[in-house]
Amino acid sequence: MIQEKKLYLETFGCQMNVSDSEKIVGLMKGIGYQQTPDPTHADLILLNTCSIRAKAEQKVYGHLGKFKSIKRKRPHLIIGVGGCVAQQEGERLLEKAPFVNLVFGTHNLHLLQEMVAAAETGKRRIETDFLDDEKRFDLYGVADTDSGFTRFVTVMQGCDNFCAYCIVPHVRGREISRSAGKIVEEVAALAASGVTEVTLLGQNVNSYSSKNPGEPDFPDLLRLVAEVDGIERLRFTTSHPKDISERLIACFAEIPKLAPHIHLPAQAGSDRVLKAMNRGYTSAEYLGKVAALKAACPGIQITGDMIVGFPGEEAGDFEETMALMEEVGYADLFSFIYSARPGTKAAEFPDLTGKEEKQARLERLQTAQKKTTLERNRSMEGTIQEVLVEGLSDSKDSLFGRTGGNRGVILEGDLALAGKVVPVKIVEGLQTLLKGEIVDPHGRE
Ligand code: SF4
């Protein structure tokens, strides 16, 4: 009997990494590895890393230290590091962590099977070359088909925007779009395997295909994907506010399958700070797009990101951020204190605001947002929402699903409803979740 090989995979950071990890699981299955939640039983440990936050490299080296001790007991164990930190560190990783067998960059997933096979024969390998054509999407159709009813589908990678604080263009390379035909093919295959919701994924989906004149642009792509049989619901992320077009906004009114949710990161509410960030829009322009979205899709849930304490942010700038937040009424907001990423432009900016002041600003912003989120969740009480049931809740004693607006809902019901969209009456709005009751237990096929 051939013994099953075990993969332990840890994923850090953004949705792009989550999506890449789904591909990694599929690729590793293809060469005989099944996932395990326990690294001490693994034959292969892969870390899919992220360098968005400060001290990302130290965190990765810290993690690798833990795995080194497992390798002492399991000498055949293969350890690999991928993602943005691997892209940045490259050879340094193999030097600083000699027990690591392979390092793969953000464009090299398609080589992973052969890299692991080589590691099984004792070879160490590093692949961090940037690819500037569609080859980087090769094997993107390979995904773990057992992981539920919702799936990310990569439509583009990289970014040309060079926001002053952001490491992404340095570690993910320049923007490149995948052909619409291949995307639709992948979505159709996912639908055939039972997936009912897809999220089209890219660093800036609004500029999808901008370098491919004559090809479908992003609004056209949404329409093509919405036509795929079996797909009930469609989402996308992330949108750059400067690039969201009237045609894309109109899609929320015109494509019934397009979920009424958009993640539209403002990052700041002060024009001075937005300029220093190189964001390419003013707060008025941002608010204009928000107003157009609300007009096209009343009830749309808007989420965002906000950076507090960007170099040069003064008290008045922060007040403008608070005012913008209030006007938008975000359903949720991911907010952070700015931290310099080496290699970015903002890392060279003088930063005179003290740590305590930044912390106080963040706490004020987060307290205000918590209040807004709770109010918005409570305002949904008594409404009927279309909920896609994803499976069991974390506690395993209820079902978990999501509204079109991407709010998580706990509800009672039969697990056989998983994958279906059911009408649910919201009975309670909590801070992070909604509680609901199914109105029609048979769901909508
Ligand atoms: S748009 Fe700006 S923040 Fe987003 S990935 Fe590109 S450079 Fe980074």
Residues 17-57 have pLDDT tens digits of 888 898 899 899 989 999 999 999 999 999 999 877 767 77
Q: For residue 308, give the nearest of 369, 265, 365 by alpha carbon.
A: 365
Residue with tokens 């000498």: 75
Where are the CATH 3.30.750.210 domain residues in the chain?
148-259
Ligand 1 closest atom vs CA 167: 8
Comparing 51-65, 103-117, 277-291, which segment has the lowest mean pLDDT?
Answer: 51-65
What are the C-alpha distances in Å from 81 to residues 50, 63, 178, 188, 430?
Answer: 11, 11, 25, 31, 38
Cα 284 to ligand 1 centre (Å): 20
What is the rounded average pLDDT of the residues 123-139? 78
What is the rounded average pLDDT of the residues 276-292? 98
Cα 207 to ligand 1 centre (Å): 12
Ligand 1 closest atom vs CA 238: 4
At residue 1, does pLDDT exceed 90? no
**Mutation to probe ligand 1, out of 168, 274, 341 (largest number of atoms < 8 A from CB):** 168
Q: Which pLDDT score is estimated for 426?
A: 98
What is the rounded average pLDDT of the residues 267-278? 98
Q: Which pLDDT score is estimated for 18?
A: 86
pLDDT tens column, 134-169? 766 766 555 655 668 999 999 998 899 999 999 889
**Mutation to probe ligand 1, out of 15, 16, 106, 203 (largest number of atoms < 8 A from CB):** 203
How many residues are there in the chain?
A: 445
Cα 158 to ligand 1 centre (Å): 9
CATH class, domain 5-127, is: alpha beta
Cα 204 to ligand 1 centre (Å): 7
User: Residue 332 contacts by C-beta under 8 Å, 6 or more apart in sequence?
Assistant: 303, 369, 373
Q: Which pLDDT score is estimated for 145?
A: 55
At residue 88, does pLDDT exceed 70? yes
Q: Whose CA is nearest to atom 2 of ligand 1?
A: 163
At residue 445, does pLDDT exceed 60? no
At residue 442, does pLDDT exceed 60? no
Cα 363 to ligand 1 centre (Å): 25
- What confidence category does residue 415 fall into, taking pLDDT thresholds of 50, 70 and 90? very high
Q: Which pLDDT score is estimated for 441?
A: 54
Q: Which residues line ligand 1 (CB under 6 A)?
A: 159, 161-163, 166, 168-169, 203-204, 240
Cα 278 to ligand 1 centre (Å): 10
Comparing 373 with 145, the larger pLDDT belongs to 373
Task: Report which residue type is found at 144.
Answer: D
Q: Which pLDDT score is estimated for 434?
A: 98
Ligand 1 closest atom vs CA 203: 5
Alpha-carbon distance of 189 to 195, in angstroms, equals 9
Where are the CATH 3.30.750.200 domain residues in the chain?
270-277+286-378
Which range in 99-113, 116-130, 313-327 is most confidently predicted, on average pLDDT?
313-327
At residue 128, does pLDDT exceed 90? no
CATH class, domain 148-259, is: alpha beta
Q: Which pLDDT score is estimated for 272?
A: 97
Cα 160 to ligand 1 centre (Å): 8
Residue 136: CB atoms within 10 A of its CB come to 23
Q: What is the mean pLDDT of the chain?
A: 92
At residue 304, does pLDDT exceed 50? yes
Ligand 1 closest atom vs CA 267: 3
The DSSP element (H or E) to which 85 belongs, if any, is helix 83-89
The DSSP element (H or E) to which 191 belongs, if any, is helix 180-192
Cα 117 to ligand 1 centre (Å): 35
**Mutation to probe ligand 1, out of 51, 84, 159 (largest number of atoms < 8 A from CB):** 159
Ligand 1 closest atom vs CA 159: 6
DSSP state of 260: S
Q: CATH number of the domain at 270-277+286-378, out of 3.40.50.720, 3.30.750.200, 3.40.720.10, 3.30.70.20?
A: 3.30.750.200
At residue 6, does pLDDT exceed 90? yes
Cα 239 to ligand 1 centre (Å): 10
Ligand 1 closest atom vs CA 279: 2
Query: Omega of the bond prior to 383 within 30 degrees of 0, cis?
Result: no
SS3 145: coil
B/e letters for 386-408, b = 16+ CB within 10 Å, e = fewer, are bbbbbeebeeeeebbbbbbbbbb
Cα 98 to ligand 1 centre (Å): 33
Q: Whose CA is nearest to atom 8 of ligand 1?
A: 166
- Architecture per CATH, domain 384-438, reads as Beta Barrel (2.40)
Q: Whose CA is nearest to atom 4 of ligand 1?
A: 203
What are the C-alpha distances in Å from 32 to residues 4, 18, 74, 149?
Answer: 7, 21, 18, 24
Q: What DSSP string runs through 301-361?
A: EEEEEEEES-TT--HHHHHHHHHHHHHHT-SEEEEEE----TTSGGGGS---S-HHHHHHH
